[in-house]
Structure 1
Amino acid sequence: LFAGRGGRGTGGEGREDRGTGTASGGAEGSFAAMDPPNPNPNPNPTDAQPQAAAGARLAALSLRGGRDLPPDFHTAEIHEHRTDDDDDDDDDEGYLTAASRGGSSTCAWKEAPEGLRDDDKDGDDVSPPSPSSSGYAGERGSSLDDDPEPEPDPEPAQDWPRDKKHLDEDDASSSWRKRKKHFFILSNSGKPIYSRYGDEHKLAGFSATLQAIISFVENSGDHIKFVRAGKHQIVFLVKGPIYLVCISCTEESYEGLRGQLELMYGQLLLILTKSVNRCFEKNPKFDMAPLLGGTDAVFLSLIHAFSWNPATFLHAYTCLPLAQSTRQAASAVLQDVADSGVLFALLMCDHKVISLVGAQKATLHPDDILLLANFILSSESFRTSESFSPICLPRYNPMAFLYAYVHFFDEHTYLTLLTTRSDAFYDLKDPRARIQNVLMKSNVLIEVQRSLRESALHVEDLPTDPSSQSASQPPQSSRDMSSQSLSFEMIGGPAGLWHFIYKSIYLDQYVSSEFPSCISNQKQQKRLYKAYQKLYASMHDKATGPQKTQFRRGEDYVLFCWITQDFELYAAFNPLADKTQAIKMCNRVCQWVRDLENEIFVYGESALSCTIIVGEVYEGLGFVTFSQKRYSFSFPP
């Protein structure tokens, strides 16, 4: 794969036989010279439209204000659709920043491109529109440039150009080959759609090679999953006519990389919907890359999240810590809007949920929340104007568009109203103004800003264990307390606790602590997140079966994972931590989270609910687990 365009692949294509599950290797072959399979054996030359005309139509897309969407805009019946697909870095990657760029008009409409309109006479199948390339007046900043040799410490975050990186590179460039992690999206005809590094057009030969490898294995009646070539792992994901490939030497697991490709595919569907497959059925050589013009920042932001956002592998969302009364005030006004015809109403602060309300029994999958927030935060046009954009929620219904009304109250806090109506922009302006008025009068927005500054969880604030102290002991002197504080700073927290992530399985939500001073380095933090990802993959490995606990001791830290039917806990301790003390500390963390659950989690407000906590003693493991159940009761008026 790395021999350059036109080169010969010397590694065997690893594949797994579905019948026996045994791995087999392929012989040497010149993959670049193979012709891609033609899904249509008798193509009609008259069906192919001139590329120049299609390009002109796609290039003509622009924002239009104060007008209705076209009558043939894609509308489909909305129904709840949830799947259980597998869900999951480049060490030289940096932090994203929200550098300001030009805005858009007050009313941001995104029109369906003519290239995706259906010309069938029956009118039953309507191809999906997509956000126009000019709909992204500004794009979220990309990550720091990758150096072939990683530096000791990354530089502080700063404003970086939002344009795609390293467009001068191709598969013949030595710098391109030294990148630690590549992502590719291509069609089943070998046409490049997206590449993390380099210009897609310059990588056409490399994309054809990847397509030939996939076709070679499929023609033998098998499905390719991954290939190992030295330190590199090449993971393939086939989604109908769209192929996704990740080439990585970051030592991540196959399940983790496949989960990242699933999220990449979900981000693609959020922009275009799954109905784009019809375009490939009509024309196997259909070029989808122009439809994604201007969305490079969206994919770069998602790739960046693979390294820094636990939601990408936990498949859960996190909430902004708020007082229960404050969150209830926000939920009440959102519920009023949801009752008036809005499908979902979300109030968020960056990637954290403040309140979430759905109409009737509609529910949002955490992956949809992640992809929607990534799409909004990485598109600067949403920040500078009231916007109304077609989007698809792949876990809710991958075949249809919803319409998102987005308004930012400040730099971090924004409201998203999702509806099935394409003409609801002006109808949603009044509810938005009413919501904003209530949030300001009830000081919700002020509390949100305060929470951003002060409400983070720190392991040093973990309550002391009452059983470990005696009432007869004298109070600690200021010298003793300062010594204990210094000890916590050196080891990270009580009993050497450095960091933890707690996931509520019932709520699909998680909470994590802030990094202590002993893990202030960005590379150390990133390394710990990688370790969490590997631990998560190990605990959920389908081959070995699910595990309940796991204790790993390494040179840099000790990792402990504890999974019950109600929660998952991932904790990091200093390398000298004792196993018994670590288990006791995890019990204290769980109790602390339960004490704060009304502030750090979002519960449904539509029905009266109560919590029943049942204690179970695991004598062999030396700890107590609390099985937390929530039951909802609806009463007539």
Structure 2
Amino acid sequence: MFQDDGSASWRKRKKHFFILSNSGKPIYSRYGDEHKLAGFSATLQAIVSFVEDSADHIKFVRAGKHQIVFLVKGPIYLVCISCTEESFEGLRGQLELMYGQMLLILTKSVNRCFEKNPKFDMAPLLGGTDVVFRSLIHAFSWNPATFLHAYTCLPLAQATRQAASTALQDIADSGVLFALLMCDHKVISLVGAQKATLHPDDILPLANFILSSESFRTSESFSPICLPRYNPMAFLYAYVHFFDENTYLTLLTPRSDAFYDLKDSRARIQDVLLKSNVLLEVQRSLHENVLHVEDVPIDLSSQSTSAPAQSSQGLNSQPLSSDEAIGGPAGLWHFVYKSVYLDQYVSSEFALPIRNPKQQKRLYKAYQKVYASMHDKATGPHRTQFRRHEDYGELPRHTPQLTPCVWNFLTDRLVSVSSFLQVIVLII
């Protein structure tokens, strides 16, 4: 049953995303049937036009608990209506990623269609891609890459990663623009042609497009795609092959006739990966090499001052038994570390007391807020902060590295700083 803006269930949704044209024609809606939301889309378009007629640009509107965020990209309008208490910067960043996902499928040259015909209907060009956008929107609640603008690597021994990189480098030298070996959303190895760089905000929608499209998994594929950060106006061609359920190779080339050449290249890469046991090590790492807060080295000098681990009614709504181990040193519950130089991040696995997806989603929203605050040019930026919530404490610090961490809400500030430094020691 399709919902429209008159249904109670549609109105109860906490977070909506819309894509529409500057003529008010609906292109995409997270919930409901776009065609039944034509009147609502026209209203959103009218709001944008009213502000632009005053020689101004609309960014957001607050209406009670709701925040309406606008992103105008030429003839394309993207809108988020949310009552999730996420920051404006965070929601706007999500709209930017949705626009990037759309460009990956269509390229920015779609603007020319609107220049020729303002009433151009773009929805058919995105037919069958609802699952791609749904997957990206879901990632906003669990994937730090969506707000850190960085990617994460699968933990591997140096020799294993070097073997994978060597295999890809031989292919890149033969005319492939980018060669990318990944396990789910994690990078195993990335090699580019000379002077060619792949932005994390291109890796994210590319991986999302591949992983959410069943056709890529069932057979080797050759598909036109656009990397908006690399060149938003041009198509590249992606050869995609899954070695197993999780591990896949993507070869990107500007040549539309390169399928059989890339097929041969893939066979050579696969042979090297099998002989060097890279694929076996990837599967082992996927299940064994996870990073836990318990792995953070203990600073013995802070043990006497660390607060006892206790539960609260926020992230941890159920009392914990005394024999359950809670977190790492000084009550550390979770951390995310980003290297600004490498555009990469690592994060610990979720464990007690952050038990379920609802609690994890709350934590990611807190990370998004503090990340936005650390980069807020209007009131900041606030490079170092200590925030104490009713159920946890945060110590984000922006240096050449960025490391937001979360502790037991009773943990002392100085103890948190000591534990923060131990996280740096573990990673570096």
TM-score by length of 1: 0.64
- Aligned counterpart in structure 1 of residue 49 of structure 2, from 208, 215, 231: 215
- Listed one character per residue, the Cα deviations across residues 32-54 of structure 1 (whole Å, up to 9, x for unaligned) are xxxxxxxxxxxxxxxxxxxxxxx
| 2:217 pairs with 1:387 | no
Aligned to 1:69: none
- Aligned counterpart in structure 2 of residue 189 of structure 1, from 9, 13, 23: 23
- How many pairs align? 411
Aligned to 2:114: 280
1:467, CA displacement in angstroms?
Answer: 6.0
Q: What amino acid is aligned across from residue 548 of structure 1 in structure 2?
A: R
Q: What amino acid is aligned across from residue 202 of structure 1 in structure 2?
A: K
C-alpha RMSD of matched pairs (Å): 1.3
- Aligned counterpart in structure 2 of residue 252 of structure 1, from 79, 86, 89: 86
% identical equivalent positions: 82
Determine which structure has greater relative contact order: mean sequence separation of CA pairs < 8 Å that are 6+ residues apart, divided by chain length: 1
- Aligned counterpart in structure 2 of residue 418 of structure 1, from 252, 255, 262: 252
Q: What amino acid is aligned across from residue 492 of structure 1 in structure 2?
A: G
1:456, CA displacement in angstroms?
Answer: 0.6
Contact 1:488 1:496 in 2 (8 A): no
Aligned to 2:307: none
- Aligned counterpart in structure 1 of residue 167 of structure 2, from 324, 328, 333: 333
- Listed one character per residue, the Cα deviations across residues 434-493 of structure 1 (whole Å, up to 9, x for unaligned) are 101110110000100000111010111222336679xxxxxxxxxxxxxxxx97944312
Q: What amino acid is aligned across from residue 26 of structure 2 in structure 1?
A: P
1:521, CA displacement in angstroms?
Answer: 1.5
- Aligned counterpart in structure 1 of residue 397 of structure 2, from 558, 562, 574: 562
Aligned to 1:291: 125
* Aligned equivalents of 1:385, 1:278: Cα separation in 2: 33
Q: What amino acid is aligned across from residue 543 of structure 1 in structure 2?
A: A
Pairs within 5 Å for 1:488-637: 489-564=324-399, 566-594=400-428
CA gap 1:192/1:355 in 2 versus in 1, 3 angstroms = same
- Aligned counterpart in structure 2 of residue 448 of structure 1, from 282, 285, 293: 282
Aligned to 1:472: none
* Aligned equivalents of 1:519, 1:203: Cα separation in 2: 38
* Aligned equivalents of 1:238, 1:177: Cα separation in 2: 24
* Aligned equivalents of 2:332, 2:300: Cα separation in 1: 18
* Aligned equivalents of 1:315, 1:368: Cα separation in 2: 10
* Aligned equivalents of 2:300, 2:77: Cα separation in 1: 56
- Listed one character per residue, the Cα deviations across residues 66-93 of structure 1 (whole Å, up to 9, x for unaligned) are xxxxxxxxxxxxxxxxxxxxxxxxxxxx
- Listed one character per residue, the Cα deviations across residues 310-349 of structure 1 (whole Å, up to 9, x for unaligned) are 0000000000000000000000010000000000000000
Q: Secondary structure of the residue that 2:290 maps to in structure 1?
A: coil
Q: What amino acid is aligned across from residue 528 of structure 1 in structure 2?
A: L
* Aligned equivalents of 1:177, 1:563: Cα separation in 2: 39
- Aligned counterpart in structure 2 of residue 350 of structure 1, from 181, 184, 193: 184
* Aligned equivalents of 1:280, 1:249: Cα separation in 2: 32
Q: Secondary structure of the residue that 2:91 maps to in structure 1?
A: helix
* Aligned equivalents of 1:257, 1:554: Cα separation in 2: 22
* Aligned equivalents of 2:30, 2:301: Cα separation in 1: 54
Aligned to 1:324: 158
- Listed one character per residue, the Cα deviations across residues 558-598 of structure 1 (whole Å, up to 9, x for unaligned) are 0110111x20001000011011111001111101100xxxx
* Aligned equivalents of 2:291, 2:5: Cα separation in 1: 45
Q: What amino acid is aligned across from residue 326 of structure 1 in structure 2?
A: T
CA gap 1:491/1:436 in 2 versus in 1, 3 angstroms = same
Residue segments in structure 2 that go unaligned for 5+ positions in a row: 304-320
- Listed one character per residue, the Cα deviations across residues 509-543 of structure 1 (whole Å, up to 9, x for unaligned) are 00000112211211111111111011101111110
* Aligned equivalents of 2:13, 2:356: Cα separation in 1: 22
Q: What amino acid is aligned across from residue 424 of structure 1 in structure 2?
A: A
* Aligned equivalents of 2:62, 2:35: Cα separation in 1: 26
TM-score by length of 2: 0.94
1:379, CA displacement in angstroms?
Answer: 0.2
Residue segments in structure 1 that go unaligned for 5+ positions in a row: 1-166, 470-485, 595-637
* Aligned equivalents of 1:349, 1:507: Cα separation in 2: 19
Contact 1:273 1:400 in 2 (8 A): yes
Aligned to 1:239: 73
* Aligned equivalents of 2:322, 2:158: Cα separation in 1: 34
1:545, CA displacement in angstroms?
Answer: 2.3
Aligned to 2:315: none
| 2:58 pairs with 1:224 | yes
- Listed one character per residue, the Cα deviations across residues 256-296 of structure 1 (whole Å, up to 9, x for unaligned) are 11110000000000000000000001111100000000000
* Aligned equivalents of 1:586, 1:424: Cα separation in 2: 49
Q: What amino acid is aligned across from residue 399 of structure 1 in structure 2?
A: M
Q: Secondary structure of the residue that 1:549 maps to in structure 2?
A: coil
Contact 1:460 1:488 in 2 (8 A): no
1:168, CA displacement in angstroms?
Answer: 1.5
* Aligned equivalents of 2:221, 2:135: Cα separation in 1: 20
Contact 2:297 2:329 in 1 (8 A): no
- Listed one character per residue, the Cα deviations across residues 163-212 of structure 1 (whole Å, up to 9, x for unaligned) are xxxx5110111110110000000001110000000000000111011111
Q: Secondary structure of the residue that 1:362 maps to in structure 2?
A: coil
Q: Secondary structure of the residue that 1:555 maps to in structure 2?
A: coil
Q: Which has the higher helix share?
A: 2
Contact 2:180 2:250 in 1 (8 A): yes
Q: Secondary structure of the residue that 2:160 maps to in structure 1?
A: helix
Q: Secondary structure of the residue that 2:134 maps to in structure 1?
A: helix
* Aligned equivalents of 2:299, 2:267: Cα separation in 1: 48
Aligned to 1:614: none
Q: Secondary structure of the residue that 1:518 maps to in structure 2?
A: coil
Pairs within 5 Å for 1:363-374: 363-374=197-208
- Listed one character per residue, the Cα deviations across residues 91-148 of structure 1 (whole Å, up to 9, x for unaligned) are xxxxxxxxxxxxxxxxxxxxxxxxxxxxxxxxxxxxxxxxxxxxxxxxxxxxxxxxxx
Contact 1:490 1:518 in 2 (8 A): no
Pairs within 5 Å for 1:69-218: 168-218=2-52
Q: Secondary structure of the residue that 1:262 maps to in structure 2?
A: helix
Q: Secondary structure of the residue that 2:81 maps to in structure 1?
A: strand
Aligned to 1:76: none
* Aligned equivalents of 1:338, 1:489: Cα separation in 2: 50
| 2:194 pairs with 1:360 | yes
Q: What amino acid is aligned across from residue 236 of structure 1 in structure 2?
A: F
Contact 2:136 2:208 in 1 (8 A): yes
Aligned to 1:462: 296
CA gap 1:282/1:223 in 2 versus in 1, 3 angstroms = same
Aligned to 2:306: none
Q: Secondary structure of the residue that 2:120 maps to in structure 1?
A: coil
* Aligned equivalents of 2:333, 2:264: Cα separation in 1: 47
